[in-house]
Amino acid sequence: MSSHIEEFYSCLPEPIDLEESKKLIQDFCCRNTETDCKTVLVTSGGTTVPLEHNTVRFVDNFSAGTRGSASAEYFLENGYSVIFLYRLKSLEPYVRHFTGQAFLDMLETNKSGKEKCIVGELTFPVKQESVAAVLPILLRYQSVKETGRLLCIPFTSLADYLWLLRAVSESLADLGPRALLYLAAAVSDFYIPANEMPTHKMQSEAGPPTISLQLVPKVLEPLVNTWLPHAFVVSFKLETDESLLISKARGALTKYKHKLVIANILQTRKNKVVMVTTDSHYEIVVTQEETNSAVEIESKIVADLKQKHDHFIAVSHCR
């Protein structure tokens, strides 16, 4: 399997800024090694699979980054340092609360549109009725930024994601059991090899294209067994058929030997997940009353994982 993965990576184009990203990741992990801080990699958002080298068209995976961005916040609240590996332009921690025009609607200026504005004199405070919504999030973000516990690394394509995942895994290795991987990104199962991809935009005049997709090797296996054998690794399983959910999750645990699968059904993923281990499974649910009180299921998921991770660390230190 190792040689197959190496061969696969050798054909993947590296991100242009890979070395710069590696340096940021290494420095971040070194700081956390020195402080004995628990560190989690949260992957979030979907990957694209280009159909041309000069990419105009691509196949995308369904994900806005909701679960990953929310979970990153709750890991930070629970004392973790977070590497947030996310799809560019998907939701990010803290910023996710103000999507679209919502944030601009919360601001006002001290000048009317008819007056000549001098930049130095212009202010744009948050409207009084919006302060309660903005201030707590701003304070949490500033606290995290001041302590340097959040590193955000963007990706777009499948190749970007896989190279960066490997880079983060290699840098987290020194943290041993204090490293947690929360693999919430929607990663493509299929790709087009570079040598089968046209250089330029496919032309419609040529008629309907015939596109042959190949299976992406499962990097979870080398990640668990080679790159990070001592980490607490959590993957996700999304299904549309509930009768398959537990068996598919257990199958993944048996095959890849990681610690836990968070299984969910597409239609109910926002209010129910199933935590699946090799010998048990149980639901985490958000009730309608909790939803009305702005309780997010990710807060419960992260609290549960923190307990499991703490136990895992304690047991690892006793060996």
pLDDT values of the chain reduced to their tens digit, one per residue, 319 residues: 467 899 999 989 999 999 999 999 999 999 988 788 899 999 999 999 998 888 888 888 889 999 999 999 999 999 999 999 999 999 999 999 998 888 888 888 776 555 555 556 677 788 888 888 899 999 999 999 999 999 999 999 999 999 999 999 999 999 999 999 999 999 999 998 888 888 898 888 888 888 888 999 999 999 999 999 999 999 999 999 999 999 999 999 999 999 999 999 999 999 999 999 999 999 999 999 999 999 999 999 999 999 999 999 999 877 6
pLDDT of residue 196: 84
pLDDT tens digits, residue range 54-87?
888 888 888 999 999 999 999 999 999 999 999 9
Q: Which segments within 240-305 are labelled E, that is strand?
A: 260-265, 272-276, 281-285
pLDDT of residue 197: 84
pLDDT of residue 205: 82
- Domains in the chain: boundaries: 2-318
The CATH number for 2-318, chosen from 3.40.50.10300, 3.40.190.10, 3.40.50.11540, 3.20.20.150, is 3.40.50.10300
Give the integer Cα–Cα distance in Å for 19 and 136: 36
How far lies 44's CA from each of 114, 172, 225, in Å?
A: 44, 18, 22
CB 51 within 8 A of CB 117: no
Give the integer Cα–Cα distance in Å for 111 and 108: 9
Q: Which residues pair with 42 in a beta bridge?
A: 84, 182
Average pLDDT of the residues of the chain: 92
pLDDT of residue 211: 85
∠ CA 236-239-244 to the nearest 5 degrees? 105
Give the integer Cα–Cα distance in Å for 87 and 44: 6
Crossing angle of helices 18-35 and 158-172, in 10° steps, is 30
Smallest CA-to-CA distance from 298 within 231, 236, 219 is with: 236
Q: Rounded to 5 degrees, what are φ and ψ at 88?
A: -50, 130
Virtual torsion, Cα 151, 65, 176, 283, nearest 10 deg:
140
For residue 227, the Cα-to-chain-centroid distance in whole angstroms is 18
Q: Which segments within the chain are labelled E, that is strand?
A: 39-44, 48-50, 58-60, 81-87, 150-155, 179-183, 190-191, 214-215, 232-239, 260-265, 272-276, 281-285
Length of the chain measured in residues:
319
How far lies 10's CA from each of 33, 163, 186, in Å?
A: 30, 11, 23
Smallest CA-to-CA distance from 253 within 244, 262, 243 is with: 262
65: left (phi > 0), else alpha (psi -120 to 50), else beta?
A: left
Give the integer Cα–Cα distance in Å for 80 and 178: 10
pLDDT of residue 125: 84
Furthest CA-CA distance within the chain: 72
pLDDT of residue 112: 59
pLDDT of residue 217: 92
pLDDT of residue 121: 67
Summarize the chain as % helix, strand, coil (round to 5): 45, 20, 35
CB 153 within 8 A of CB 186: no
How far lies 27's CA from each of 22, 23, 31, 34, 263, in Å?
A: 9, 6, 6, 11, 33
